[in-house]
A and B are shown apart, each in its own frame.
Chain A
């Protein structure tokens, strides 16, 4: 039952909103993964971020595609939790340790071991619309534990204008999605994050975007 809802959600609703109401301008689509495991690591401005990226992947991969999302936010009430887990299909991630020895990244690593394609936001939160926050090192920690899993940087622009934090009404804007080249982990977490950062900066420069303030 839930998978029918999920198929309807991503196959019809999300695609209608993302492809018609918004509209995507995708560059380097060929760099997207064709099978799992893989991580799409993107900047985060809107609830629509993950939706837009999942719309880029073919529906036959849907059972393998899941966004990594904050457990404290999405599991905060039972109805939202059911929707997030069953329909959106999130991999819930705790942002704060409850016990000192808790392995926060375990759900992500498990999902990768199941061969899933994860949408991951290294900024950790949506923050101010259309502004880049500091990338946290969680991405490097995952890459360190699963160095063979391809990590693809994805830069998006426009989704924070269409549906910023704290708003419920979607306003149509064309969205740019620029896909970067796969990053390989070389043993150094700080250097890895630096390469991710510069890859994202280079993607952002591919198009001139007007300020939004």
Chain B
């Protein structure tokens, strides 16, 4: 088996820059925790440690082969869907329906692997949507039917359809004008989304005064949101020529879109968790929570970025 690196050099350079950023973050946190051994900022330290693992896993997943990278996102979708379906109330009558719902994960990523764009687009919004409703009706249990059907479809749309857009970036055909590598686009949107999370957190913690959407996520502030969106846009502007065919104007638009979309994804999952009554969606990633806590912003930014690129550049 040939395990040569398939991603272009610019992607590797950006990974190098991320590692440098992590080194800085690790040093800063160590400096913040200097002196006493009282365990100050323990969660922050755990979060940075988890970032090392996440970056490492992500780099390994996308660097070697397209198939491995698509498989990685299929597993990510599966874990996210499982976390979602374990968190939300489901009906006992739908146990076998959920089996079919899980089966949508390998199928959706199979369409990605086959580069079957039309089926990739309609499989979940049309076919899975109708099939799941049919399968539920056949059980004959009408109590909480609409709630259950809506819950299941919302999970499929976000955790499977939404996330699979990241994988489809890897199989986009040659661009209209400028050649672009799928892995570079993927790294661009994931890096900016996660960076936007971190930047909103840092702006909010340092300058945050005025609450925004307090009933959904009590720690979000206007300063964090605006600071995060603007600094993310600056990074998008600077990074776009390295990784993407975006024109300078478009890169600003994409930066704003990722900044705002990331915020919306974050608060949407917060609303969901608040509705159910949990703080974290799981405990898989120390300092972060579950998978949903980490990928919440991507649920919005991935399809937004994908369709921007697909419409204007491919």
Contacts and interface: CB of A to CB of B under 8 A. Distances in A.
Contacts of B83: 174
Interface string A198-213: 0000000001101111
B277 A212 contact: no
B89 A210 contact: yes
Interface stretch (B41-49, B90-98, B211-219): B90-98
A172 B80 CA distance: 12
Contact of B102 (A167, A171, A174, A211): A171
B80 to A, nearest CB: 11
B95 A171 contact: yes
A169 B92 CA distance: 14
Contacts of A161: 90, 92, 95
Query: By CB atoms of chain B within 10 A, which of A173, A211, A212 has the most?
Result: A173
A25 interface: yes
B96 A169 contact: yes
Contact of B283 (A25, A158, A172): A25
Contact of A23 (B79, B88, B92, B277): B79
A129 B87 CA distance: 17
Contacts of A174: 82-83, 86-87, 282
Interface in A148-174: 158, 161, 164, 167, 169, 171-174
B92 A129 contact: yes
Nearest to A164: B95
Contacts of A212: 89-92
A129 to B, nearest CB: 7
B88 A213 contact: no
A211 to B, nearest CB: 7
Contacts of A213: 91-92
Contact of A208 (B78, B91, B95, B277): B277
Nearest to B283: A25
Nearest to A174: B86
Contacts of B238: none
B144 to A, nearest CB: 10
A167 B102 CA distance: 17
Interface in A88-146: 129
Query: By CB atoms of chain A within 10 A, which of B78, B86, B96 has the most?
Result: B86
Contacts of A173: 82, 85-86
Nearest to B91: A213
B296 to A, nearest CB: 17
Interface of B: 78-79, 82-83, 85-92, 95-96, 98-99, 102, 276-278, 282-284
For the complex of A and B, 9 pairs with smallest distance between CB atoms: A210-B89, A174-B86, A173-B86, A172-B82, A171-B98, A171-B99, A25-B283, A208-B277, A171-B95
